[in-house]
Amino acid sequence: MVEKEIGGVPCWRGIAGYSLAGLFVLYAIYQTDLFSRVGSMSGPLWFPGMKEYIFSREPKRWPECTYFSLGDTEAKTRNPVLQTA
């Protein structure tokens, strides 16, 4: 919709997300080739099955730029899966 409003295709498209949306960002690059820049901030990469998902597929398009940030308080959570990350 925005591209129709501005009357053209931008030179790049990006997607970014925090927490669960950060996990979705990674999932998205395996589903579509629309994004050339991605950012996953505090994405729960430990999510069950995510490692296997990532290593068993190729992204539809490898991003030109990728940003990851991880928090340092995950080990203090009550979630036993996250404590082991």
Q: What is the mean pLDDT of the chain?
A: 87
- Average pLDDT rounded to a whole number, residues 37-59: 92
- d(Cα 12, Cα 36) in Å, to the nearest integer? 6
Q: How confident is the model at residue 10 (pLDDT cuts 50, 70, 90)?
A: confident
- d(Cα 78, Cα 33) in Å, to the nearest integer? 36
Instruction: Provide the 3-class DSSP secondary structure of residue 69.
Output: strand
Residue 27: the pLDDT is 95
Residue 44: the pLDDT is 85
- d(Cα 12, Cα 65) in Å, to the nearest integer? 11
